[in-house]
Amino acid sequence: MKTNDLILQTVTKVVLFIILVFAVFILNAGHHSPGGGFVGGLLTTSAFVLLSLAFGMETVQKAVPVNFRHVMALGLSIAFLCGIGATVLQYPFLTHAFGYVHLPLLGETELTTALIFDIGVYLTVTGATMTAILTIGEDR
């Protein structure tokens, strides 16, 4: 039977971007309000799962042409290198720093090295959950 998923697919096209933008917002808001890398990663995964529900797994792999195992490894490397960077500067492992920088478009912005660590967590969570879901989903 030929299925017609027009309503689901059209709404997915709109909702997907809301979820992805909200994931990035949560990732950046984690320093001062609830949120952070873990929730951001889970939200990104949920967006991709919604995409695969509406359009099929092949579309996800076409739209996001990365191997999610590599994403997981990249996230772990970023988090680890963030800790190593403190050791290079003669501080204990995983010492974080923050400072106020004047960026051209955003004005006075607080930048922390904890954000780099959080991006590592974000990539690891996205990679791990997507790997689990894609591995289970492919095996029919």
Determine if 11 is a binding residue for other proteins (CB under 8 A). yes
Q: Contacting other proteins (CB under 8 A), which of 16, 20, 22, 69? A: 22
Q: Of 3, 134, 138, which is closest to residue 69 (Cα–Cα)?
A: 134
- DSSP character for 30? T
Query: How many CB atoms neighbour CB 119 within 10 A?
Result: 20
Is residue 16 involved in binding other proteins (CB under 8 A)?
A: no
> 108 forms bridges with which residues in the sheet?
102
8 belongs to the binding site for other proteins (CB under 8 A): yes
Rounded Cα gap, residues 126 and 39, in angstroms: 10
The secondary structure of residue 113, as a DSSP letter, is T
**Residue 24 binds other proteins, judged by CB under 8 A:** no
Q: How far is CA 29 from the centre of its chain?
A: 13
Q: Does 15 bind other proteins (CB under 8 A)?
A: yes
Closest CB to other proteins among 15 and 74? 15
User: Contacting other proteins (CB under 8 A), which of 17, 18, 56, 67?
Assistant: 18
Q: Does residue 80 interact with other proteins by CB under 8 A?
A: no
Interacting residues with other proteins (CB under 8 A): 1, 7-8, 11, 14-15, 18, 22
